[in-house]
Amino acid sequence: MNYGEVSLFIQKFMQEHTYQLIEAAAEQLVRALLLTWPAVKQVKLELQKPWAPVGLPLQTVAVEICRGWHQAYVALGSNLGDRKGYLDFAVERLSAREDCLVKTVSDYVETAPYGGVEQDDFLNGVLELSTLLAPEELLDVLHEIEAAAGRERKIHWGPRTLDLDILLYDDLILDTPDLHIPHADMHRRAFVLEPLAQIAPWVRHPLIRQTAEEMLHSLKV
């Protein structure tokens, strides 16, 4: 990869694609650059459009964006039907996406149910993911995969064919009605920490400031 290659790629991309909004053009161009050169972790782009029809006396309208690959850890769980099959299904569906790269998958561990609801034992695991998706976009994708596996949300902490949770996303701390990062209970769940510590013992909880290995050890003492 060199400046000439990138310049020719951008010229060709802009010639072959048409967008109504300059923001959409910038987003798709950055996405294409990151997917074409996966070794590039982040791209900062300023895109200018001369004489844009914005109703203002401006010669140029510009947008600047910065996008890149993010590191996420996703917990997998199942206690209905073909448990291993459902976990493998989730890994395969994420691997099939061009905006997601499954880097490592832990061993699957069998654990007792959590939350006090009487049900069968779970099969649990954790995967390491590089993704171009924002946290909310990743959550939507995980919900789509759960739905494709026949997940029904009837009982809180109840039995399920497939359960997918974002544990960590870079060093992000996020608290919204729909999404909590880091996962609110991960430091209290051995069935999460055991597979996480297997594949990333060094990864650190951004609030507690303990590594996965340290959090798991704290649960066992």
Residue numbers annotated as active site = 49
Residue with token string 């691997």: 95
- CB neighbours of 183 closer than 8 A, spacing ≥ 6? 75, 165, 166, 167, 168, 192
Give me Rg for the CA atoms of the chain: 21
- Is 122 strand, coil or helix? strand
> For the chain, how many helices (H) and strands (E)?
6, 9
Burial of 216: CB neighbours in 10 Å, binned 0-12, 13-18, 19+: buried
- CB neighbours of 20 closer than 8 A, spacing ≥ 6? none
